[in-house]
Amino acid sequence: MGSRGWARAAAVLRAFGRLDRRLVYLAALLCASAAVLWPPPLPVRPRPDTLAAYRLAQALRPGNAVFIWIDYGFGAQEELDPMLRAVLLQLMRRDAVICIASRSIEGGQIAETVMRRAAAGHPAYLEGYGVRWIDLGYRPAPDVALRAATVNLPAAYNGVDQAGLPLARFPLTARLRALTPEFFRLAYVFDLGDGYAAMMTYVSQVTGLPMIVGAISMEAPVIQPFVATGQIAATIPGIRGAAEYETLLGAPGPATALDRGSALVAVFILLLLALGNAGAAANPERQEG
Amino acid sequence: MPSPSAHPFATWTAAVCTLAVFSYLYRDNALWRAVEHLYIGLSAGYGLGYGWHNFLEPIIVTDMIHRHQYGYALPLLFGLLVFARYVRGGDGPARLPIGLWVGYGAGYALTYLPRTLWLQVSGSMLPPDRLSNVLVLATLVGGLCYFLFTVGQRGPIRRMATFGRYAIMLALGASFGGAVLYRYTIFLGRMAFLLKDWLHL
């Protein structure tokens, strides 16, 4: 490229550096729309983390009980709802007994909604509340509630479920007396708490019951050391992990669509990073300002 | 996650609120502020209703009034002391329930966290027989050196601290990248709602 070409390229980069941020937002909007409407048909290959989580649940026998602790609210639904849905689908296929509790106030409501949607093709679960699954809802001081649950699960939740119905009327309650390996085979924590608080609470309070953490992509690397030490049995990392889970189940769904869209978005972000830095470098007066 | 069974009114309300929030990206406007206030009001109202129905009503109405379990009055009154700060000379009593809560937190942390974190510390002491283990050890020592302020940063400590700083920057960069993609996933979810559930494209 000649000197005129370089000068033109520098001028373009300078123009990009001075670009109205609203145009960048518009480009982001168009990119997201394209990602949603025409997600690239990229293959999803399960990684060891997700595979380990999947295999643990595959080892369940019909009637084995699983505890699911929800620690996210409406803000994290886009990423964790598809993950929860995929896990529930697998548990229902394994004919597991599912006990859901929540560490966040909205968690009980979220869990119930996702469970009822996931159970659409499983009439035994759709009509089997209190027999195949139960939602204990939220209790204040969740650390204390979890500690108490290791001694007496119904009492830890004041003897009522998410809707305030007495647990004594559900046949399931007699089987799930305490959060211990005697009554449960596996536990899940869907974590978006302040500094992965739910995972930390579970690790410090419940012993002997293997736990799988469903984490948002941002938290997944921080949780990894706990997998290395064996404090966590496995982890499902972010929307990518949820998509891998759907692939393993042979049921591509919302997570796969979001993950494929994210790939397009990742390219867009890389492009913005490159152009933004080049634009800033070509505008020394903006750097100083 | 899209909600195909949602009532059309709920879908329209959610779509209008989403667009109103997005409109702030163009510029501050009345619609955005209205939705912002609506959201804060709804959150406060939801919290108040939830608090009453789940915590206060079961204890005050069910347990104390109907079941005559008056023992709950003691912690209730103790908790109400936090409002004593609004009375002249009430700062001291107001600190009591907060002190109890802070004391509980500290006691909890001292009881349960060391056991949990000790496994992390011992798990970091890996034999340097693989490149990944060497990297973990080097990053651990480098990170510690970087935050070592009681001795001068000279010689090997300075070099390790520099390595630690770059390792921390790398980790923070990866974490920030994850945060950006996580936010974009949320944005994608909203766009999926607008384009598919609302506009049926």
Nearest to A78 by CA among B107, B183, B152: B183
Whether B116 sits inside 8 A of A200 (CB atoms) is yes
Give alpha helix (H) positions in chain B.
8-22, 30-51, 57, 73-80, 91-124, 131-146, 155-192
Q: Measured between CB atoms, which of A85, A143, A262 is closest to B188?
A: A262
Q: Which CATH number fits domain A48-251: 3.40.1130, 1.10.287, 3.40.50, 3.10.105?
A: 3.40.50
Amino acid at A105: I
Q: What kind and span of H or E run contains A133? A: strand A133-138
The residue from B68, B92, B111 where one domain ends is: B68
State pLDDT tens for residues A59-96.
999 999 999 999 888 888 888 999 999 999 999 999 99
The residue from B104, B125, B146 where one domain ends is: B125
The answer, for B69 touching chain A at a CB cutoff of 8 Å, is no
Tell me if A119 sits within 8 A of A91, measured CB to CB.
no
Shared domain for B120 and B133, answered yes or no, is no
Instruction: Tell me the DSSP string of B57-105.
Output: HIIIIIIIIIS--GGGHHHHHHHHGGGGGGSTT-HHHHHHHHHHHHHHH
> Residue B47: inside a domain, yes or no?
yes
B189 to chain A: which residues are within 8 Å by CB? 77-79, 258
User: Å from B58 to nearest chain A CA?
Assistant: 10
Shared domain for B119 and B137, answered yes or no, is no
B26 to chain A: which residues are within 8 Å by CB? 22, 25
| Per-residue pLDDT tens digits of chain B, which is 201 residues long | 445 457 889 999 999 999 999 999 999 999 999 999 999 999 999 889 988 887 888 889 988 999 999 999 999 999 999 999 999 988 999 999 999 999 988 998 888 888 888 888 888 888 988 999 999 999 999 999 999 988 888 889 999 999 999 999 999 998 888 888 888 888 998 999 999 999 998
Shared domain for B138 and B196, answered yes or no, is yes
Range of the domain at B162: 128-201
Shared domain for B132 and B196, answered yes or no, is yes
Whether B171 sits inside 8 A of A28 (CB atoms) is no
Tell me if A246 sits within 8 A of A256, measured CB to CB.
yes
What's the structural domain count of chain B?
3
Q: Which of A36, A87, A146 to probe by mutation at the B interface, max B CB count within 10 Å?
A: A36
> Residue B1: inside a domain, yes or no?
no
B171 to chain A: which residues are within 8 Å by CB? 221
Tell me where in chain A the CATH 3.40.50 domain(s) lie: 48-251
Shared domain for B151 and B201, answered yes or no, is yes
> Residue B175: inside a domain, yes or no?
yes
ipTM score: 0.82
CA distance B97 to B82: 7
The residue from B85, B109, B125 where one domain ends is: B125
CA distance A17 to B147: 36
User: Å from B47 to nearest chain A CA?
Assistant: 9
Nearest to A227 by CA among A243, A246, A203: A203
CA distance B30 to B20: 9
Shared domain for B79 and B90, answered yes or no, is yes
Residue of B nearest to A255 (CA): B1
